[in-house]
């Protein structure tokens, strides 16, 4: 369980923690978007340094971010290798059939690698510093216009916030059930693939059972309290656009200018 | 089996934040055949100590001795398996671990994992079910459609079925009605006496401590603050106050009576009935 860093919130007091979640969400989206418009290695490195600075500001150790990359490292390396092999041009160092390792290929490979890592890093910055409920609130706010084309965004955001709300419970419970079955002599992660799959039954079934029970209770409570999703409602957590969010937006604008104007 | 902890420290590492020393340099010795209660405020580390004894939480420093086995940081799989076979652990709300299609299969899960033959498994399941008072006709039922109390019994039977020599329990009666609670504890006490099981039980309820335990471990902030007999504990009011422990009902009653009477009672009654009898013997009523 401890490996799962991506998508986890760590309480902290950095200025990034205090930014408006709507801003952070938009920032992360546009930032990732900008990464696809970078053209030279210089700009990749510039953005990489910037990403590192942002990570530094969250007050979470670098090792944590690296952990977030680990589960995806093979996928990244695969994409990078493909990129290197299939690009030609510049000095060619090695050739084998249709594949070649060239200086262009290596450059593109490096850029691809940096882009992947930055995407993971920046989304980790978002999820590490923003509570899941805040992200839901921000999403709800940003998707509001969709209401006019009859998308039930209240229902969607309720579903999302309930789902997010129960992730920590589910992780805790997984830990508990795993311990309980280990105590009864269960050994996880051993033997053939089939046996390992079978070993999951005593873990997954109780989790399912408990989640179903909880879902049922929850539905009952919503019913009893007269919850109706299509009502206009006020919010317990108010999102406030503050001065630092304005500065942040200016900064974002500057980045866009750098990418779309200077780079040309 | 005896349990001995020698300056054991342990913690949980969750991502970047290592909880520093959830347990720090614990030393502790629990005798073979004792019935020991572990008490302390919430977060004191009671459950963590139980996990330690079962090798579910490994020490970062120090080592512990469970019978002939030694548990330390780099313990090997065989030792761990042997320890888990000898230490039965009943978690808080153990009914949440039920998973099998039938009650029988669920109780048989542990013994099968520990490599008992099917013939032995059958005997063990029957014995364990009888111990917890689970009727045979329930064997073929799904554990999920039993009542809460029955589920709890199935879960406990599942642990007893591995024939442990040490039984550790984390608030085994939490969430049960008084009757169900008494039934579980009476069963544990009976088992303890019949089989000489070393029993360690975490509880919040001082009445349980007086009624069932021989000795008490008082924990606070990841340390063992005291390990003493039940009778001693309730004579140490300073200790009770310091760790915000409540007096059990019978002792509160006894104190009130003593105050009214202006003299102490010589006997150490454990139940209200015993208190009444002691007072009659003293000629107070
Ligand atoms: N799985 C876990 N991951 C991280 N920290 C944990 C975990 N389990 C317990 N802790 C921490 O360890 C400390 C001791 O917890 P423990 O569960 O042993 O206390 P306890 O005495 O059993 O409390 P309670 O009476 O509430 O059950 C607490 O500070 C708790 O936050
Ligand atoms: Mg506990």
Question: How many Cβ atoms sit within 10 Å of the Cβ of residue B147?
Answer: 9
Q: Is B266 exposed, middle or buried (0-12, 13-18, 19+ CB in 10 A)?
A: exposed
- Sign (positive/negative) of CA torsion B185, B186, B187, B190? positive
The residue among B69, B95, B101 whose CA lies nearest residue B82 is B69
Quick one: tokens of A118? Answer: 């930055």
Mapped onto helix, strand or coil, the DSSP state of residue B204 is coil
Count Cα neighbours of B265 within 13 Å in the Cβ-side half-sphere: 28
How high is the pLDDT of residue A163? 83
CA–CA distance, A187 with A53 (Å, rounded to integer): 43
Residue A114 CB partners (closer than 8 Å, separation 6+): A44, A45, A47, A48
A36 and A102 in contact (C-beta within 8 Å)? no
Q: What is the pLDDT of residue A94?
A: 80
pLDDT at A98 over 80: no
Instruction: Residue B225: name the closest of B240, B206, B207 by CA.
Output: B240
Question: Which atom in ligand 1 lies closest to the alpha carbon of residue B49?
Answer: 18
Enter the ipTM.
Answer: 0.85
Q: pLDDT by residue (tens digit) across A180-223?
A: 999 999 887 777 888 888 888 999 999 998 899 889 999 999 88
pLDDT over threshold 90, residue B124: yes
What is the DSSP track for B162-183? T--SEEEEESTTTT--HHHHHH
| Across A68-79, average pLDDT | 87
pLDDT the model gives residue A2: 44
Closest listed residue to residue B189, CA positions, set B219, B161, B174, B210: B210
Interface of B with A in 29-88 (CB under 8 A): 51, 54, 56, 81, 84-85, 87-88
Give the residue from chain B lying closest to A200, CA to CA. B99
DSSP string, B13-56: EETTEE-TTSEEEEEEEE-TT-EEEEEESTTSSHHHHHHHHTTS
User: Cβ–Cβ of A185/B17 closer than 8 Å?
Assistant: no
- pLDDT tens digits for range A117-147: 999 999 999 989 998 888 888 988 898 898 8
Task: Check if B44 has its Cβ closer than 6 Å to any atom of ligand 1.
Answer: yes
Contact state of B159 with A60 under an 8 Å Cβ cutoff = no
Under the banding of pLDDT at 50, 70 and 90, the label for residue B125 is: very high
Q: Which two tokens stand for residue A264?
A: 């040309």
pLDDT of A5 higher than 60: no
- Tell me the average pLDDT of chain B: 90
pLDDT digit string, tens, across residues A244-263: 999 999 999 999 999 998 88
Any idea which residue has 């009727």 for tokens?
Answer: B135
Q: What residues have CB less than 8 Å from B143, skipping those under 6 apart? A: B95, B98, B99, B100, B102, B103, B106, B151, B154
Per the structure block, which two tokens stand in for B144? Answer: 């999920």
Say whether pLDDT at A242 is over 80. yes
- Cα B68 to Cα B53, B54, B65: the distances in Å are 13, 14, 7
**DSSP of B226-274, one letter per residue?**
EEEEHHHHTT-HHHHHHTTPPPPHHHHHHHHHHHHHTS--SS--SSHHH
Q: Give the ligand whose atoms come closest to the C-alpha of residue B221.
A: 1
In chain B, CATH 3.40.50.300 sits at: 3-246
Q: Which residues contact A245 (CB under 8 A, 6 or more apart)?
A: A19, A20, A23
Continuous segment of H or E residues that includes residue B111: helix B103-113
Please say whether the structural domain B3-246 has been given the CATH code 1.10.1740.10: no
Distance from CA of B115 to the nearest CA of A (A): 9
Q: pTM for the whole thing?
A: 0.76
| Among candidates A10, A184, A201 on the partner chain, residue whose Cβ is nearest the Cβ of B159 | A184
Residues in chain B with CB shorter than 8 Å from the CB of A187 are 81, 113
B84: nearest CB among A63, A173, A183: A183
The helix or strand, by DSSP H or E, that contains position B225, with its residue range, turns out to be strand B223-229
Confidence label for B266 from pLDDT (cuts 50, 70 and 90): confident
Structure tokens at B9: 């420290």
User: Which residue in chain A has the smallest CA separation from B15?
Assistant: A2
Contact B164, B116 (CB under 8 A): no
Tell me the sheet residues that pair with A95: A100
Residue (of A65, A51, A52, A49) closest to A10 by Cα position: A65
* Residue B22 in contact with ligand 1 by CB distance below 6 A: yes
Q: How far apart are CA A100 and CA B160, in angstroms?
A: 65
Q: Cα distance from A199 to chain B (closest Cα, Å)? A: 11
CA–CA gap between residue A86 and residue A173 (Å, rounded): 46
Q: Is B206 on the interface with A (CB under 8 A)?
A: no
Q: What is the pLDDT of residues B165-216, one digit of tens each?
A: 999 999 999 888 888 899 999 999 999 999 999 999 999 888 889 889 999 9
Which 8-state DSSP code applies to residue B115? T
What tens digit of pLDDT does each residue of A29-67 get?
999 999 999 989 999 999 999 999 999 999 888 888 888
Query: Are A24 and A129 spatial neighbours (Cβ–Cβ below 8 Å)?
Result: yes
CB contact under 8 A, A180 and B96: yes
| pLDDT at residue A16, rounded to an integer | 93
CB distance B15–A182 less than 8 Å? no
Residue A43's SS3 state is helix
Domain parsing of chain A, residue ranges: 1-132+240-264, 167-228
Q: How many CB atoms lie within 10 A of CB B210?
A: 23
DSSP for A169-183, please give it.
Answer: HHHHHHHHHHHHHHH
User: What's residue B17's pLDDT?
Assistant: 52
- Provide the pairing of β-strand B215-220 with B223-229: antiparallel
**pLDDT at position B20, please?**
67
> Are the C-beta atoms of residues B283 and B266 closer than 8 Å to each other?
no
Say how far apart CA B208 and CA B248 lie, in whole Å.
8
**Residue B6 bridge partners (DSSP):** B63
End-to-end CA separation in angstroms for chain B: 45
Cα B50 from chain centroid?
Answer: 8
CB contact under 8 A, A180 and B54: no
């Amino acid at each position: 369980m401890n490996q799962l860093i991506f998508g986890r919130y760590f309480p902290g007091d950095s200025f990034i923690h205090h930014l408006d979640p709507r801003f952070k969400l938009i920032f992360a989206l546009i930032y990732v978007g900008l990464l696809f418009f970078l053209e030279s290695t210089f700009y990749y490195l510039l953005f990489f340094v910037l990403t590192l600075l942002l990570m530094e500001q969250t007050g979470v150790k670098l090792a944590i971010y690296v952990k977030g990359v680990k589960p995806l490292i093979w996928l990244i390396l695969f994409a990078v290798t493909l990129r290197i092999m299939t690009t030609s041009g510049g000095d060619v160092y090695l050739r084998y059939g249709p594949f070649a390792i060239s200086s262009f290929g290596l450059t593109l490979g490096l850029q691809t690698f940096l882009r992947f890592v930055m995407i993971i890093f920046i989304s980790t910055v978002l999820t590490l510093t923003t509570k899941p409920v805040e992200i839901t609130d921000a999403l709800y706010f940003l998707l509001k216009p969709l209401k006019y084309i009859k998308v039930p965004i209240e229902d969607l955001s309720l579903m999302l916030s309930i789902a997010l709300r129960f992730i920590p419970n589910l992780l805790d419970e997984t830990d508990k059930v795993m311990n309980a079955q280990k105590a009864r002599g269960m050994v996880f992660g051993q033997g053939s693939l089939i046996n390992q799959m079978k070993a999951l039954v005593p873990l997954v079934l109780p989790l399912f059972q408990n989640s179903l029970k909880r879902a049922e209770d929850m539905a009952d409570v919503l019913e009893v309290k007269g919850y109706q999703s299509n009502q206009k409602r006020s919010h317990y957590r108010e999102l406030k656009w503050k001065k630092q969010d304005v500065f942040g937006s200016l900064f974002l604008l500057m980045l866009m200018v750098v990418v779309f104007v200077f780079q040309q | 089996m005896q349990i001995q902890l020698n300056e054991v420290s342990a913690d949980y590492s969750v991502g970047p934040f290592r909880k520093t020393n959830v347990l720090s340099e614990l030393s502790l010795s629990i005798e073979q055949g004792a019935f020991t209660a572990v008490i302390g405020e919430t977060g004191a580390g009671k459950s963590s100590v139980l996990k330690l004894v079962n090798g579910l939480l490994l020490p970062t420093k120090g080592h512990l001795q469970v019978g002939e086995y030694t548990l330390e940081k780099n313990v090997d799989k065989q030792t761990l398996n042997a320890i888990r076979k000898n230490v039965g652990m009943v978690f808080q709300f153990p009914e949440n671990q039920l998973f099998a299609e039938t009650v029988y299969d669920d109780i048989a899960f542990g013994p099968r994992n520990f490599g008992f033959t099917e013939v032995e498994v059958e005997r063990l399941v029957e014995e364990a079910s009888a111990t917890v008072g689970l009727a045979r006709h329930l064997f073929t039922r799904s554990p999920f459609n039993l009542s809460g109390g029955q589920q709890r019994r199935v879960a406990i039977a599942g642990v007893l079925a591995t024939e442990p020599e040490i039984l550790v329990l984390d608030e085994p009666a939490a969430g049960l009605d008084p009757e169900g609670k008494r039934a579980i504890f009476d069963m544990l006490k009976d088992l303890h006496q019949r089989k000489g099981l070393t029993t360690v039980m975490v509880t919040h309820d001082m009445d349980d401590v007086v009624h069932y335990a021989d000795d008490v471990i008082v924990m606070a902030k990841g340390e063992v603050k005291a390990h003493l007999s039940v009778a001693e504990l309730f004579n140490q009011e300073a200790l009770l106050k310091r760790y915000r422990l409540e007096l059990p009902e019978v002792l509160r009653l006894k104190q009130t009576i003593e105050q009214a009477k202006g003299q102490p009672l010589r006997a150490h009654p454990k139940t209200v009935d015993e208190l009444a009898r002691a007072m009659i013997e003293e000629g107070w009523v």
